């Protein structure tokens, strides 16, 4: 019965993230538009877009194979599984689920035979090769202190000394990773369709209808998963004696502040050239290494 309760709790947690992910993406877009002195989309616009796209059939090129059709479903399933493992899963399982979705989406971009898709897929893999080692090194800073790769144990260890020097270094490194993994400026531009700058958008240009809706939804879920990882592992402090509802609201407030910070970072920086990304990720790697050494 205990195992059943854990599975149901994880499923409920994942469904909550599933429902809230488009709202967080909308908050980032609205704040970004406000900082740029333009009107921008409505707060709930992504919900309307998903509702419209999920009702439409997909137009598929005759040159594609089964990989192109299944990739959005695998990408969405991986993001949903990562959300389910956030509360009581293992760090490596969560990262492997997200990596599997990225791999199949990049593979589908090549399967379509489009020049832009192949360019976007190759750039995505180039970014992932730079980001994933730094991501692992940063999270291992918490895992070493916790003595476990279980996310619940890591969150408990982070709450003990939230403002120590290693955690400050690790938090700075993870913030850089958060920008890169969510496809934000200066690494990527989520609002462009220019062939010289697009990375994630280049991979999904051949998608339409239901498949495109699943890709958009999965990207929003992945963004929220990384934001929750950031606030639970690197901003874990909260007042004592809070009720369960107050604790959820406290975490929601930290998620909101992180979303606003992402919009501010994106507004205050410029898109960097692709060959400068290794230096940018190198800074995150050095911060993560300093955090690990300072344990």
Each residue of 97-117: pLDDT tens digit?
Answer: 999 999 999 898 888 877 777
Q: What is the mean pLDDT of the chain?
A: 86
**What is the mean predicted confidence (pLDDT) over 245-261?**
87
Burial class (CB in 10 A: 0-12, 13-18, 19+), 21: buried
pLDDT of 60 reads 84
Which tens digit of pLDDT belongs to each residue from 177-210? 999 888 887 888 777 666 666 777 778 888 889 9
pLDDT of 57 reads 86
- Those residues whose C-beta lies under 8 Å from the C-beta of residue 214, and which sit 6 or more positions away, are 54, 72, 73, 75, 76
pLDDT of residue 9 exceeding 80 = no
pLDDT of 11 reads 82
pLDDT of 217 reads 94
The pTM (predicted TM-score) of the whole model is 0.92
Which tens digit of pLDDT belongs to each residue from 203-236? 888 888 999 999 999 999 999 999 999 998 888 8
């Amino acid at each position: 019965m205990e195992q059943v309760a854990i599975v149901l709790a994880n499923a409920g947690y994942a469904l909550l993230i599933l429902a809230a992910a488009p709202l967080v993406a909308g908050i980032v877009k609205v704040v970004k538009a406000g900082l740029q002195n333009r009107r921008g989309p409505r707060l709930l616009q992504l919900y309307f877009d998903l509702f419209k796209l999920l009702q439409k059939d997909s137009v598929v090129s005759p040159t594609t194979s089964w990989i192109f059709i299944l990739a959005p479903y695998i990408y969405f399933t991986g993001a949903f599984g990562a959300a389910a493992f956030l509360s009581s899963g293992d760090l490596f399982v969560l990262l492997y689920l997200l990596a599997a979705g990225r791999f199949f989406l990049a593979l589908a971009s090549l399967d379509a035979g489009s020049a832009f898709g192949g360019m976007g897929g190759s750039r995505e893999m180039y970014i992932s090769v730079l980001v994933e080692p730094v991501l692992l090194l940063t999270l291992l800073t918490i895992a070493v202190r916790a003595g476990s790769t279980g996310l619940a144990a890591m969150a408990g260890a982070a709450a003990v000394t939230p403002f120590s020097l290693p955690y400050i270094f690790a938090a700075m490194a993870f913030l850089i990773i958060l920008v890169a993994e969510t496809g934000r400026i200066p690494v990527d531009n989520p609002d462009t369709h220019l062939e010289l700058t697009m990375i994630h958008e280049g991979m999904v240009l051949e998608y339409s209808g239901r498949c495109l809706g699943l890709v958009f939804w999965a990207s929003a879920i992945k963004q929220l998963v990384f934001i929750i990882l950031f606030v639970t592992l690197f901003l874990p402090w909260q007042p004592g004696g809070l009720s369960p509802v107050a604790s959820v609201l406290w975490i929601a407030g930290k998620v909101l502040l992180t979303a606003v910070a992402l919009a501010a970072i994106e507004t205050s920086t410029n898109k960097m050239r692709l060959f400068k990304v290794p230096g940018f990720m190198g800074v995150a790697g050095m911060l993560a290494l300093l955090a690990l050494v300072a344990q």
